[in-house]
Amino acid sequence: MTRLPFPLRGFLYELRRGLLNPALFAITVLLVVISMGIVTTFHVASGRNYESCEEVAWYVDGAYHFVVHVHDQHALPIAGVLTNISLSTAAGSPGSPPIYFEGHTAPNGSSQLVARLPVADYVYSFFAIDPNASSSGWGEGCLFSGGNTTAIATGPPGSVHSLAWGTWTLVGLDSSIPSPQLLLFFLGPNGTSPTGDQAFWAGAFNASGRAMGGPNPFPPLPESAMHRLGTFRGDAQVFSFAVPNATWTGCYSCTSDKVVQLEIFSPTGQILLEDTNLSASDFAPVPTGLLVNQADSLTFSFMSEYVGLIAPFMAIVAAYALYARDRISGVLETTQCGPISREGLALSRWAAVLVTLAVSLVVSLAVISVEIHSVLGVYLPASVLLATLGAVLVEVGAFSGLVMLLSRFSRSHVVVLGTAFGLFLGFEVGWTFLDNFLISYVQALPGGSWVSAQSVANQFELLNPLGTLFLLSRIYVNPPLLGVTQGEIGLAGFLWVMAPLVLFVLHARMRD
């Protein structure tokens, strides 16, 4: 009877078993769900380090209404901030003590102060200071003096005006997405919600030479002549905003004169606010190369920290389900009575494990790639996708081979699984302690340095099956990589896959 060296039908059968295995299917779903979590890595904000404020005001029913909105550099509102405004006698009139009004910001970051005074030409000063600022180590707040109330009472009663710090602030929603963000704070008539109001922008040249922060030098534009920025869903709205380079065709040399004209319209098309004090340099589009580098870095960081930890677990479960369990229970001997060689059976089941998990990893990478494109607008390069997939498959191949090899030496489920998971913990947790000890030891040697210690530590990682993904992530996340080359990383990964497999196949040729 001729024994098949590699049973294709058997391989396809085992592949089907692997893809439909409930435990592996559940882990695959978990892997995909975790891959969706890469979005959260885009929004890992650095600690609060300063306050920003926007202020609007209106006059109605015999009172000035001042509203200040306070937030951090990530556009998150700050509650409990002390807000104070002082109104002095009308400009040019005999002096009298200023009138003070005080309050605190609510959880939404806003504070409203009401001054019941007749319409006059008042001079006001304003500040917003967080009482916890000095202990938290970030900026103390917003200060402004010398404002004038003349404009507040102009226009229809209750019409809102932008004062002092303006209506807009350049913010960074997070530390991972290199994209300019614009926070707009605005209220409807009499302080009502601006929900449904539309924000529009247009490029302009400050040819008059007016300083930034001065009066609007441009006449309002109709909606049809502007670009739609977005719709307000509340009084504080953040928009992603990048001005295309084509906006400035014909005037690339006048960098300092490029401004962005911002206008807010009501749902009926009535202009509510105009601001031309936005410097265009703050909203320059991010170079594609920077976005691709950011995508590469985020992908390898995420894969190394999350997916790379699940892959060995998946390999252990898959190798146990498709080979080790049958080997330990004795079912494998019955299968070997058919026209199939022992090494052919071993190779077909190992290949089925590898392909099963490769499908799961490809789905995971596809989810990550789609999410990155939806956020950054770029696709992951094929080289990054292949390098990431290859690095994780090293872990899969190594641990599946180890589980199958262990099952050749023990017929105990507890021993095989316990040893496999013990090796995984050793390579993951124990290796960290060894790595730190090695770095400290090399640095303590005569002539030792941080560079030499890192080189030795990276070379030490080649002895770890989890090291391939770790070292590749260092290349893309924090280059340069000291002490090893990409060729050495690839060779080490190849040996970690082949060594357990070769030993397993050789032992499988022996009769029990």
- Containing 26, the helix (H) or strand (E) segment is helix 22-36
Residue pair 47/139 in contact by the 8 Å Cβ criterion: no
Q: Domains of the chain: which residue ranges?
A: 8-42+289-508, 51-285
* pLDDT at site 213: 39
3-state secondary structure 219-264: CCCCHHHCEEEEECCCCEEEEECCCCHHHHCCCCCCHHHEEEEEEE
Cα–Cα distance for residue pair 371/134, rounded to 1 Å = 39
* Length of the chain as a residue count: 512
- Containing 70, the helix (H) or strand (E) segment is strand 63-72
Residue found under tokens 């600690």: 47
Angle (CA) 176 439 393, round 5°:
55
Residue 168, both tokens:
């807009």
Q: Could you check whether the bond before residue 22 is cis, i.e. omega within 30 degrees of 0? A: no
* pLDDT at site 455: 87
Sequence-separated (6 or more) residues with CB below 8 Å from residue 440: 453
pLDDT tens, the chain, 512 aa long: 444 455 567 667 777 776 777 877 787 788 778 777 665 555 544 455 567 788 888 888 888 899 888 888 777 888 888 888 888 875 555 556 678 888 999 998 899 999 888 888 888 888 888 766 554 444 456 777 777 787 788 777 778 877 755 566 655 444 445 556 778 888 888 888 888 888 888 876 654 443 333 445 567 788 888 888 889 888 888 887 766 655 544 444 455 567 777 888 888 888 887 776 666 666 666 666 666 777 777 777 777 777 788 888 888 988 888 888 878 877 766 555 555 667 777 777 888 888 888 888 888 888 888 887 776 777 778 888 888 888 889 999 999 999 988 988 888 889 999 999 999 999 988 888 898 888 888 888 888 788 888 888 888 888 999 888 888 877 776 666 678 888 888 899 999 999 998 888 888 777 65
Residue pair 33/163 in contact by the 8 Å Cβ criterion: no
- Containing 274, the helix (H) or strand (E) segment is strand 271-279
Cα–Cα distance for residue pair 321/22, rounded to 1 Å = 10
Q: Which superfamily does 51-285 belong to? A: Immunoglobulins (2.60.40.10)
* pLDDT at site 10: 65
Is the whole-model pTM more than 0.75?
Answer: no
Indicate if the alpha-carbon torsion angle 323, 329, 330, 335 is positive or negative.
negative
* pLDDT at site 106: 92
CA 510 to chain centre: 52
State the distance between the two ends of the chain, measured CA to CA, in whole angstroms.
21
Residue pair 494/487 in contact by the 8 Å Cβ criterion: no
* pLDDT at site 257: 62
In order, the DSSP letters of 441-496 are HHHHSTT--HHHHHHHHHHHHTTSTTHHHHHHHHHHHSPPPPS--HHHHHHHHHHH
